[in-house]
Amino acid sequence: MSNDNTVNDATVEELKEKLRNELREELRRELLGEELEEDRTEKDYPWIVFAVDGTEYGVNSKYVLSIEIIGEITPIVDAASHCPGITQSRGDMIDLLDLRALFGLGDYVSARESEDDRVMMMVIETGDKKRGVIVDEIVSVEYITNFIDGVVGETAGSVTSHYIREVATREKTDSPVLILNPESLNSL
C-alpha cells in the first residue's frame, strides 16, 4: 500500500509542478503583452494583396506559409482544370490551384509562352491542408480594415460567392479588394 501512495504522491507532485510552470508562462505572457498564436485573430496579421487577371484579391497572411516560384509541375490525370497538378515546396509535395481556371479566366499553364516562364504561387495552409495557389503577382502586404458590409456572402444583397468572403478597400489607394475565403479552397 505504501508503494501506491508513493506513486500517487509522485504523480500529484508532477501535476503541481506542471500547473506552476503553466501559470508562470501565462503570467509572463500577460506581463509582456504576448499572445498565444491561437489567441490571435485575422486583424492581428497583415493581408497579402495579389492580382489575378487585373483584379485584386486579398488573403490574410495568417494562412500564407510562403510565396514562391513554382518548380516542375507534375500533371494529374483526369484532374479538374483548376488543379493543374502537384509540385514540390520546401520538401513537401503539394497540389496546385489555378485561380484563373477556377474563376473562368483561362489558365496559367497553357498561357505560359515557354516552359521557362516563371509562375508564382502562394502556399496556403488551412487546417492540415497545404495548397499552392497560382497568382499573377503580389501587389502588396498591408493591413486592411475597410471591409464593406453586406456585399458578399450568404445573406448579401448583390453578390454571392463560395470563394470570395467579403469586399474591402485598400487603405492607400481606396481600390476594391476581393477577400478570398481560404477555407473554401479545401473543398476543391
pLDDT of 175 strictly over 70: yes
Q: 52: which 3 cell numbers?
A: 489575378
Q: What is the CA radius of gyration of the chain?
A: 23
Which residue has cell 510552470? Answer: 21
Task: Answer yes or no: are the C-beta atoms of 101 and 82 closer than 8 Å.
Answer: yes
What is the pLDDT at residue 155?
44
**Which pLDDT does position 122 carry in this prediction?**
93
Q: Under DSSP, is residue 153 helix (H, G, I), strand (E, B) or coil?
A: coil
Banded pLDDT at 123 (limits 50, 70, 90): very high
DSSP state of 81: T
pLDDT confidence tier of residue 25, bands split at 50, 70 and 90: confident
How high does pLDDT run on average in the chain?
Answer: 79
Greater pLDDT, 136 or 160 = 136
Looking at residue 156, what is its pLDDT?
Answer: 44
pLDDT of residue 132: 92
pTM of the model: 0.70
